[in-house]
Structure 1
C-alpha cells in the first residue's frame, strides 16, 4: 500500500522527499494497526501506548474519548479501570494505568529484595477544592507522603552490616572543633574552588569574548577523591501514602508502610543490614528522635537503631538562601544610602517588591542573589585589571594565567572578611574611619560565592567539595539563626568523621546526589528529586473532582517517572518534538545595570567614613558569628554530652525485642503478651512513647518512655513540638522551584532533549516500563 502511494502520479510529479515518504509510511502503518485492533483486541498494544501518552501529556478525558472513538487510543475507562471480581460473569480486568502501576511496584519490590537501595520521602500537601459546598463536602487541605527508592551506587551488602555499624557507633569518639574546621589542605583546596567559581562566572556571564577560555576552564576544575563517577540513577517511586509525616509518630508510620509495601519482612537477613534513608531536616530529626527515645528500651526494627539518616542537601540550600536573604537584604527604602544591598538591586532591576517578613519562593530569591553576584564579580574584574569595560578586557587579555591572577585578586581584595574586620576595628578607634558599604559588599561577595560553589559542586557530583561548604555552614547557619540546620551539620560532620564505618560513609557520599539523566554535570540532591516527583504528582497527574482520592494517587504515583519518559520518547520516535525547553535567560541587561550602579556608587572602593543609616545595622559576618557562638555557648559540650548518653543507652539490653534480630521487624509492646509464632505483631505504638522536646538523653525522659504516664507526657509536649521543630523556610510554589537544572528556565522538564537519548543505555526506566506494558 505504501509503495502504491509512492508511485502515484501526484507523488512522482512532485518528487516526494524521503522525509515525506517516511511520514506517509507512518500514517499507513498507524491505519493498519487501528484496523488490526478492531479485528482483535489482542492487537491493541498501540492503542494502549497512545492512551498512556495522552494521559502523560495531560489530555482531558473528552480528548481521549474522541480519539478512542476514531480508533486511535484506548478508552479512558480502559486506562483507569480497577479490577473487579464480583462474579465470574462480571469479572473485569484492571486498566492499563493500574497494570503499569503494579508493574512498577513489582520492580520496586525486586530492588527492595536486594537490600541495596536508598530511600527518600517527603510530605505532599494540596488543596482539595469543592466548587459547591454541601454537608460533609468542603475544601480541605490534604496531607500525605510520597517516597522513592533507588539502587545504591557503588555499594554492596558486605559494606552495610548492622553489626559493623553498631560497633563503630559504640567506639565513636566525641566531636571536636578540629572536625568542623578546615584543615590546612582543605583551606587551600577551598580557596582554589572559590577562585575557580569566580572564573566560571566570568567565562559564563562575561560575554561571547570569554568563550575562548572555556577549554582551560574545564581543565583546571578542582576535584576531590570523593567525586562520584558518572552513572544514571534509576528511580522507583512508591505509592502515595495518606500518612501525615509532620509528627514523630507519622515518620514511624511512613517507614512501616514502606517496609510493608516493599515486603522487606520476607527477607531473612532484613535486620542484619542498615538502611539508608534521606529526607529534609525535619524528617531526619524526627527519625533520629525515635531512635533516641527507644534506645535501651526497644530493640530490633522498632528501635530504629538500624538507620543511616542522610540529610537532604536541597533543603540545606534553601536554608542557606533564606539566611543569606535576611542577612544581606538591607533596610527597606534605603535607596542609594545602601547601594550594595539586595533591596536596592531588586529595585534597580524593577522586580516585584519583596518584604523580609514574607519572602517569595526559593527560585526568586536564588535568582536575585546570583545575578547580583555575577555583576559584582565582573565589576571587580574591571577593578583589579584597570580596564574600562569587558569588551576592552577581552581584546587585551588572551592569557589564561592573567585571568587566573585577576580571579585571585578578586578573592583576596573583595571577598576577604579580614578586610571587613580591619575596617570595623578602625571605626571603633576612629569614627571617621571604616566604610560600611564596602564592608557589607565584601561579606556579600564571600557568602554568595560560597552559595554558588555549593550549587556547582552538587551539579558536578563532587562530594568532597560539598563537604567543604557544609563545614562552613555548620558555623554560618548558627550565625544566621538557622540553629536546627547548624545542629544537623554537626551531626553530619560527626557521623562522617567518627560514627559511621568508612564503607558506609563512602556509600553516603556516593548516593546523596543522584543523576536521573546519566549526563555529565547533571547531579541533583536526593531530596530535590523527591520534591520534583511531588510537583508532578500533585499538579499534573492528580485526579480532580469526584475522581480525586488517595486510592487513585497511590495508583498513579509509581507511574509518574515512566509516564514522563513515555511522553518524551513518543515525541522523539514519531519525530514531532517541537521542544518545551527555554534557552537560559539572557542576564546581559540586568548585569550591565547592576555593574553601572556598583561603579557609580563606588561600592567596591573604600570611602573613609562612609556610614549607613542609624537604623540600618552593618551586615553580620555569619561565619565568624557562628564560630563565636559554637565556641562560647557550650554547643560542642552539649552535643557530646547527649551523644555519650546515647552510647550508654544503646549498650543496655532492650526491654522489648533483641538488639539485632534477623527476621522480627515487628515487636510487641511490653504490656502485651508475646505473639504467636504464626503471626507478626505490630511495632510498639509511638503514641505510647514520649515525644518530648526536652533532652532525649536525660534519664527521666528515657524512663518515662516505658512508664505508665507516656500519654500524658506526649500531650504535655505535643503543642511545643510544632513550635520548636519548625523554622521559617522559603516556599516551593512552582516547577522552577524544583527544577532539576535551575540554571535553565523550562516549562516542562524534559530529560531527553537530544537524539542520542534514544539509545538503549539512555532510555533506562522508560524502556523497562514499555517492556512491561507489552508483556501486559
Structure 2
C-alpha cells in the first residue's frame, strides 16, 4: 500500500504530461486524485497501475518490433522475441536509458520519453514485489529492500526508509542466522488457503482475521463472553473452509467472488492507442516541459551518495543512545525506615 501511494505521489503529474492523471482522465477513473487508506482506494489504484503498465509495455512491443498489432509478434521466432524483450528492458526501462537521454543538451531533451522510461523502470519494481508476495518468494522481497529504500528516501517517506534501514541492519548484521530464517519463513507472508499464488502479507492476513472475527463469523447472543469468543475464534479457519465449500457447491456467490473487471482489456487497449498516437516511446527533441510539470526521479534522488549518507547518519544518531549501567531499586519512591529495616532483616536471614 505504501508503495502504491509512493507511485501516486511521484507519477500523478498534470494534464500536460503523461503521468497517472493523464491515464485516469482517459479512462474516466474517479476517486483517484488523492491517496487514501480508506475504502477500496488501494485496490483501485493498484489495478490502475497494472493497467497503465501493461499499456506501456504493449506499446513498447509494437515500437521495438516495428508492428502495429501484437498479433504480428506470432511471426517472430522465440530468439527474436527474447531479443525484443532485452531491447525493451535496456533501451526503454532502465537507468542507463534515462542517463542517455538526460545527457543531451537541455534543448534536445525529450521530457515525454524520459518520463515514460522512468515509469517503465520503476513500475517493474512494483510488479516484481507484487508477484513475489503473491507466490511467497521471500528471497525476491529481500532483494528488493535496497531499491525500496532509494524510493522512500527520494520521496521523503522517512518513516518507511527508517523502518527498512532497521530491517536490513537486522537481516544483514545483527540477527543470528536462526532468527533471520524465522523472520523470512514466518513473519513476512502467509498462505491462509494453501493454494498456489495465494500468499498475503502478514498484516493483511490479520486484517482478514479481524474481519472474520467481527463480521463474517460474529459471535452474538446473551451467552457471549470472552471465553466463548476465544473458543469460536479458534474455529474460524475450519468455518472458512466450510463456507467456501458450501458456496462452491451451491454456487450462490461464485459469480461475485471470481468476477473480473470486464473493462480491463478495453481500458488497456484505449491507453495503448493513446500512447501510440502520442508516440511517447519515440524520441522527439522538441518535447520539453516546464519545470513544474516534470516528474521527479525518486530512485535517483534516493540513491545519491550524499543524500543516502545523510539519511543513514541521521538514522544512526537516533539509534545510538546512552544507557544507564546502574540499577535503581527504589521504584520511584523514597524508601522508609521500615523498608530499610525489612531489607536488613532479609539480608541477615
TM-score by length of 2: 0.83
Give matches, 1:134-283, under 5 Å.
Answer: none
Higher strand share: 1
Structure 2 Cα separation of the partners of residues 345 and 577 of structure 1: 37
Higher helix share: 2
Greater relative contact order: 1 or 2 (C-alpha under 8 angstroms, separation 6 or more)? 2
Please state how far the C-alpha of 1:367 moved relative to its aligned partner: 0.6
Match of 2:323 among 649, 653, 671: 649
1:149-197 Cα distance to aligned partner (Å, 9 max, x none): xxxxxxxxxxxxxxxxxxxxxxxxxxxxxxxxxxxxxxxxxxxxxxxxx
Structure with bigger gyration radius: 1
1:6-51 Cα distance to aligned partner (Å, 9 max, x none): xxxxxxxxxxxxxxxxxxxxxxxxxxxxxxxxxxxxxxxxxxxxxx
Structure 2 Cα separation of the partners of residues 655 and 464 of structure 1: 45
SS of residue in 2 equivalent to 1:634: helix
Give matches, 1:469-480, under 5 Å.
Answer: 469-480=144-155
SS of residue in 2 equivalent to 1:589: helix
Q: Does 1:507 align with 2:190?
A: no
Please say if residues 542 and 548 of structure 1, whose CA atoms lie closer than 8 Å, have aligned partners that are also in contact. no
Q: Does 1:348 align with 2:26?
A: yes
The CA RMSD measured in Å over matched residues stands at 3.1
Please say if residues 382 and 388 of structure 1, whose CA atoms lie closer than 8 Å, have aligned partners that are also in contact. yes
Q: Does 1:437 align with 2:112?
A: yes
Q: Does 1:326 align with 2:9?
A: yes
User: Where does residue 384 of structure 1 map in the other structure?
Assistant: 64
Match of 1:609 among 286, 291, 306: 286
Please state how far the C-alpha of 1:349 moved relative to its aligned partner: 1.4
User: Where does residue 591 of structure 1 map in the other structure?
Assistant: 268
TM-score by length of 1: 0.39
Please say if residues 379 and 598 of structure 1, whose CA atoms lie closer than 8 Å, have aligned partners that are also in contact. yes
Runs (5+) with no aligned partner, structure 2: 336-349
Match of 2:172 among 494, 497, 502: 497
Please say if residues 301 and 307 of structure 2, whose CA atoms lie closer than 8 Å, have aligned partners that are also in contact. no
1:517 to 1:630, Cα distance in 2 relative to 1, 3 A: farther
User: Where does residue 301 of structure 2 map in the other structure?
Assistant: 625
1:542-566 Cα distance to aligned partner (Å, 9 max, x none): 4689999989866654443332222
User: Where does residue 347 of structure 2 map in the other structure?
Assistant: none
Runs (5+) with no aligned partner, structure 1: 1-317, 657-667, 674-776
Q: Does 1:456 align with 2:136?
A: no
Structure 1 Cα separation of the partners of residues 156 and 317 of structure 2: 23
* Aligned pairs, number: 329
Match of 2:193 among 502, 517, 528: 517
Please say if residues 347 and 353 of structure 1, whose CA atoms lie closer than 8 Å, have aligned partners that are also in contact. no
Structure 1 Cα separation of the partners of residues 239 and 333 of structure 2: 48
Please state how far the C-alpha of 1:382 moved relative to its aligned partner: 1.2
Structure 1 Cα separation of the partners of residues 222 and 155 of structure 2: 46
User: Where does residue 250 of structure 2 map in the other structure?
Assistant: 576
User: Where does residue 303 of structure 1 map in the other structure?
Assistant: none
Structure 2 Cα separation of the partners of residues 425 and 478 of structure 1: 24
Match of 2:90 among 412, 416, 419: 412
Match of 1:367 among 47, 63, 71: 47
SS of residue in 1 equivalent to 2:281: coil
Structure 1 Cα separation of the partners of residues 221 and 157 of structure 2: 40
Please state how far the C-alpha of 1:457 moved relative to its aligned partner: 1.2
1:112-153 Cα distance to aligned partner (Å, 9 max, x none): xxxxxxxxxxxxxxxxxxxxxxxxxxxxxxxxxxxxxxxxxx
Structure 1 Cα separation of the partners of residues 178 and 146 of structure 2: 21
Please state how far the C-alpha of 1:329 moved relative to its aligned partner: 0.5
